[in-house]
Amino acid sequence: LRGDRVVQIDRRQRKLTDEATFRANKGFGQASVPDFLALTGDTADGIPGLDGFGEKGAGLLIGAYEHIEAIPDRADQWTVKPRGALNLAATLAAHREEALFYRKLATLIDTVPLAESLDDLRFRGVPRARFDDWCTLVGSETLRAMPRRWAE
């Protein structure tokens, strides 16, 4: 997510999420998502996370500290108090290196050299005919109205 130009669309709930909405809902910014996933896990990507860390507790900690290495080892040093803080602190202290590895697994690498220029990759709108065909293929009539910009 980047401002209101790179957004996420939830087709089930018919919601558009931009960067500000994400921060308001989660309590932390996009740069902290790999840290959050390292703590909670991500089954889709095979990241196990740390035992005991759920979305609420991890969200509080990441919202307060942004990155795993900034979270103090001891719960009595935390500025936020998630449920089960003593157990979470003990787990994090014992498995911090694993969490840092999980963060690395959850980090999107955006420095890969590309043969295309930025102009080649610039969004020019949704190709209407191909998009309509795809909507028919996946059986989603509600998506047809979502694009705000059509390709010329």
pTM of the model: 0.72
- Tokens 């919601």 found at: 15
Residues 42 and 34: their CA atoms lie apart, in Å, by: 10
The larger pLDDT score, comparing residue 51 to residue 121, is at 51
The pLDDT of 60-78, averaged and rounded, is 97
Q: What pLDDT shows up at residue 51?
A: 97
Half-sphere exposure of 22 (CA within 13 A, CB side): 19
Q: What pLDDT shows up at residue 63?
A: 96
Which tens digits make up the pLDDT trace of 18-41?
Answer: 888 889 989 999 899 999 999 999
pLDDT band at 14 (very low <50, low <70, confident <90, very high): confident
